[in-house]
Amino acid sequence: MSFPVLSLLIGLPLLTALCVAAAPRRWCRWVAVGGSVLGLGLGLWAFLDIERDSAADLQAAYEASGGILERALDRAGLSDPDTREVMRDLLRGQEPESEEVRDALEALAGVRTALLRRREVVQLGQPPVEVERAEQGLLLARARVAELTASFESLRLDLREFRRVAYGVQRRGFRRIEYRAWIPQLGVSYFLALDGLSAALVCLTQLIALLVIGGVRRGNHVRRQCVLLLCLQAGLLGVFLSLDAVLLFNFWVLSLLPAYLMVATGRGGPERAGAALRFVIPHALSSVGLLVALGALALHAPDGPSFNLLALAEVAAREGISPELQRLAFVGLFVGCAVRLPLVPLHGWIGALQEHASAPASAMVQGAFVKTGVFGLLRFTWPLCPDVVTSPGVVTALGVVAGVTVVFAGLTSLGRRRLSRLLTSLTILHGGLFVFALVSLTPASLAGGLLLSVTHGIAAAGVCMALGMLRRRGVERLPHCAGLAHSAPRLALVTSGLFLTLALVPGGGAFVGGLLALYGSWQSGLIEPWIAPWVIAGLLMSPAAVYLLLQRFWARGGDLPRGELRAAEASVITPALVLSVFLGLHPRLLLDGVHTWLHGFLQLLTD
């Protein structure tokens, strides 16, 4: 196995968290920032390197799977070099679990039996005692053959894993594979890999974590906040890099715990405990549905239980999973992701969280945690239920859900009196638009949806941090914003820019993403035509709400002065604005990176 970069990516935040826990209080933040910078560097390197020649990685994949083969031969007790070589030649073919392998195993047993028989025939002329001995020898040899056959059963179990890894990796273009059998009896493995989708989201998470850690205020809780942030970061990275359903579910739940504790024990509003409970209950309940659905799919894999997402997707694509099971599983998987996204009517948690959680907690949740919903839809919900997501009834139903979400978010954004609530509406709107793009299943819509999602992550995290700064200056509601541009022009400018980006105003990455999503949907013709006007109407309402906010910023009046943006604060929110605008000007930076993944994804669903 080559150097485990992906394990390092996940482990680095945890290692940094340990260092932060042990460091003196005044150094905590700097240690955390250092770890995050390293993590971001690793993530960027992995992302920019994703489209390189895949030969080396393919070799690595074969090495990883070859390791499985060698271990399997060891366990089967085949120590003889010649026999091992023969087995290797046989098994390294295109179909290692084919009939030939079984035949080879049976032939091996047959050869041994024949040898014993010949020995018996040779001994026919011997006295009865010798014949009896020979018979005993024969019995022993038969026992050995039976033992060998039992060993070969376990060999076949391992070879099944070999086939799953090698086949999936080859077909879907994954890189930097890290594979180890974890609990073979349950079909669970430690399987990490990187593709365009995960690389983009890993970079996003690392970037947001760095910005948020940079924005944690000094004080009593800096150590705890940094440790929880780093644990959350590790959990999210684990979700984005896992290709085994159980491993992914582990990280999925693991990311929930620090997020809950950050919201519940951070420096938020007085109702933060209630907000944390409202946050964690729907997520925990929806995780149950997710686990049951994944378990049901894993148990119905034809080769025995397997949680390998690549293998399951291949099985689903080859119509190996019944439509009834797919329908039931889709409900569990979709609800699990829709809560995180969030979609109407599962969005209740996000408003309370945004209002009462501390700025770092809400930035991490809005910027990165929400993206696990996007990832879940793309990584397992759609690939594991291909028949369901392409059936016209479900497409229409999902289009309606997306349309209702966008219209609801647009309407509520117009009536918001709190800045945090306005941000909540915009997040819900982005979730709805992403699902609208996903349902269409065209390259343009998917690329647009992903661009929209990444830009939203960066801008929403920036807005959350900006709202924290405004809260410290006594600005929480719209009326408080009056005259902010005169008392704190730089703060007002950056906040306005971030809000405008989120509202899909031209110039930001979200605008390009939204445009691509709408174009792709029109191009596909899968969605009923009457849904699109509603979505567009909902989208037009959000800029109107943001323009109303800007009007307040630039109006005269208000309680001056409020304090201008400090350099430390600017270093947190300005990069978010710059990046989200840069993605609008140069969207190919992201789209080139996800090109291979996008085509593999569409091929899997449409073949």
Partner 1 sequence: MLVALILALLGVLLLAPPLSTNARTPALAAGVCMGMGAVVLSGRLSLFDMVTGLWAQDAATDFAQLVALAATVLAITLQRDRPHDAVPPGALVLAAAGACALASATHAATAIAGEALLAVALGIMLRAAGQELAGLVWTCGVGIAATLAGAGVLMWVTHGAALDRIAIGAGASPRGPLLAGVGVLLCVGLSPFTLLLPGGVWLGRSRRIPAALLGWILSVLPIAGTIPCWRLTRSLHDLEAVIGSEWRSVLAALAVISLCASTWQALRQRCLRRLWCWLGIGNASLFAFGLAAGAPGAHVEAALAGHACASLIAHAGAGAVLTMAEGWWGGNTRLQRFVGLGQRNAFLGVALGGFLGLLSAIPFTAGFFPKLHLMLAGQRGGLTWLVVPMALGLTWVGLVALRTARVLFHVKEKGRAEPLVGSPGLTLLVGLLGCAALGLGVRPLTVAWGY
Positions that interact with partner 1 (CB under 8 A): 21, 183, 185-186, 220-221, 224, 246, 249-251, 253-254, 257, 260-261, 264-265, 273, 276-277, 280-281, 284-285, 287-288, 291-292, 295-296, 298-299, 305
Q: Is residue 462 a contact partner of residue 432, using CB atoms and an 8 Å limit?
A: no
Q: Which is nearer to partner 1, 121 or 331 (CB)?
A: 331
Separation between Cα atoms, residue 510 and residue 290, nearest integer Å:
29
Q: Which is nearer to partner 1, 17 or 590 (CB)?
A: 17
Question: For the chain, what is the largest distance between any 2 Cα atoms, rounded to a whole number of angstroms?
Answer: 119
Q: Helix (H, G, I), strand (E, B), or coil: what is residue 347?
A: coil
Please give the sequence-ordered ranges of beta strands (E in DSSP) within 168-305, or none if there are none.
175-183, 188-194
Tokens 């039996």, residue located: 113
Q: Which is nearer to partner 1, 376 or 509 (CB)?
A: 376
**Alpha carbon distances (Å) from 548 to 428, 462, 540, 589, 591:** 19, 20, 13, 32, 33
Per-residue tokens: 351 = 């408003």
Q: Is residue 349 a contact partner of residue 278, using CB atoms and an 8 Å limit?
A: yes
Separation between Cα atoms, residue 249 and residue 265, nearest integer Å:
25
Residues 6+ apart with CB under 8 A from 396: 527, 528, 531
**Alpha carbon distances (Å) from 171 to 70, 163, 607:** 23, 12, 13
Per-residue tokens: 525 = 């013709």
Q: Helix (H, G, I), strand (E, B), or coil: what is residue 545?
A: helix
Separation between Cα atoms, residue 425 and residue 420, nearest integer Å:
9
Per-residue tokens: 116 = 């014993």
Query: 504's torsion region: left (phi>0), alpha (psi -120 to 50) or beta?
Result: left
Q: Alpha-carbon torsion 162, 167, 168, 174, what sign?
A: positive
